[in-house]
Amino acid sequence: MNEGVMAMNTKSRYAWAYVMIAPTLIGTLLFWSWPAVYSIYLGFLKSENFGLVNHWVGTQNYEKLFKDQEFWRNLRNTLFYMVLFVPLTLVCSTVLAVLLNAKIRGRSTYRVIYFLPQVTMPAAAAMVWVVLFAQDYGLVNYALGTHVSWLSDPRFAMYSLVIVGVWAAIGFNMLLILAGLQGIPRTLYEAAEIDGAVGFNKFRYITLPLLTPTLFFTTIVLMIGATQVFDSIYMLIGKTNVALPAVRSLVYAYYQNAFVYYDQNYGAAIVNILLLVNLVLTGVQFLFQKKWVVYD
């Protein structure tokens, strides 16, 4: 190929590249990047008349936020949800994945069953849990022989949310971990068996170390998801429930402030804190992923 043709080619190739990325780039900048930047800006403003008049107030929204007992409680709730939800989902999913990784019959049937909640609309799933958790005529109390008000007793509401969250998340995370398990070479187990390793030892000394990268990735994804819990609180607990303060997450507080009380700036301040938390989590993931790639 002669060089002139090559150069012309290159130029027209560039032009094609810009045409091909244009819709995604423009759409992203307009509808996603700009709103993200604007949200940070909103956190420093005080708006009146539905955003017609804006004053720059510096860090006032954040000062108010940090003095607000409710904010700290919401943050605590979010972290508490995360601390319960993430390990529980991780343990259940890992156990299931290990069991399903054995050569047993009906594997694909089990997979389909565990995956079912994943394709179910969270709003609809939450509705049936409301029925199951009902105090007087719910199946849960009937089965346990208890008379607990699962969704409106502040002592229990958080645990009920976690149960629903884990129920919905197991199938998907089990799949991720199963894929990780299938990446572990069989020869390692065979070698260990020759050395006399059995059952749990194989799990402890082969499976677990080699599964660590998968588990780490899964943990971070679960944590990021857990910091944004909203649907289940909205549908299971609801705005008039006395247990709401005991479970209200940052995202729920954002929703209330921005779209129920119409305080866009205070709402933005809340959600910008969430952004910070998520950036830290992503940063951690990025750093450690690099480390593992090197050691692999």
Question: φ and ψ at 48, to 5 degrees?
Answer: -125, 165
Query: How far apart are alpha carbons 35 and 44 in whole angstroms?
Result: 15
**Alpha carbon distance 15, 30 (integer Å):** 22
52 binds another protein, rule: CB under 8 A: no
Residues 215-234 that bind another protein (CB under 8 A): 221, 224, 227-228, 230-231, 234
Residue in 8, 53, 91, 123 binding another protein, rule: CB under 8 A:
123
Quick one: which of 175, 211, 223, 226 contacts another protein (CB under 8 A)?
A: 175
Does 42 contact another protein by CB under 8 A?
yes
Q: Give burial (CB, 10 Å; 0-12/13-18/19+) of 197.
A: middle
Q: Does 207 sit near another protein (CB under 8 A)?
A: no
Query: If binding is defined by CB under 8 A, does position 144 make contact with another protein?
Result: no
Taking the least distance from each CB to another protein, the nearer of 165 and 231 is 231
Chain centroid to CA 224: 4
Q: Does 156 bind another protein (CB under 8 A)?
A: no
Judged by CB under 8 A, the residue of 129, 223, 246, 256 near another protein is: 129
Contact call for residues 266 and 257 (beta carbons, < 8 A): yes
Q: Which amino acid is at 195?
A: D
CA atoms within 13 A on the CB side of 72: 6
* Phi and psi at residue 196, to the nearest 5°: 95, 10
- Considering the rule CB under 8 A, would residue 12 count as an interface residue with another protein? yes
**120 touching another protein, by CB under 8 A:** yes
The one segment of 21-29, 75-83, 150-158, 203-211 that binds another protein by CB under 8 A: 21-29
Q: Does 53 bind another protein (CB under 8 A)?
A: no
Stretch that binds another protein, among 57-65, 77-85, 131-139, 153-161 (CB under 8 A): 131-139
CB of 73 to another protein, least distance (A): 18
| 148, 258 Cβ separation under 8 angstroms | no
Q: State how far the Cα of 198 lies from the Cα of 74, in Å rounded to an integer.
A: 46
Considering only residues 115, 156, 159, 288, which one is a binding residue for another protein as defined by CB under 8 A?
A: 115
Which span sits near another protein by CB under 8 A: 55-63, 129-137, 200-208, 287-295?
129-137
Which residues have CB under 8 Å from 222's CB, separation 6+? Answer: 85, 86, 89, 90, 169, 173
Among 226, 244, 247, 274, binds another protein (CB under 8 A): 274
φ, ψ at 23 (rounded to 5°): -60, -45
CB of 150 to another protein, least distance (A): 14
Q: Which of residues 59-88 bind another protein (CB under 8 A)?
A: none
- Rounded CA-CA distance 281/96 in Å is 26
Stretch in the footprint of another protein (CB under 8 A) among 53-61, 76-84, 164-172, 188-196: 164-172
* Segment (H or E) for 4: helix 3-28
Let me know: does 101 contact 182? Beta carbons within 8 Å: yes
User: Exactly one of 84, 97, 151, 271 binds another protein (CB under 8 A); which one?
Assistant: 271
Which C-beta is closer to another protein: that of 123 or that of 242? 123
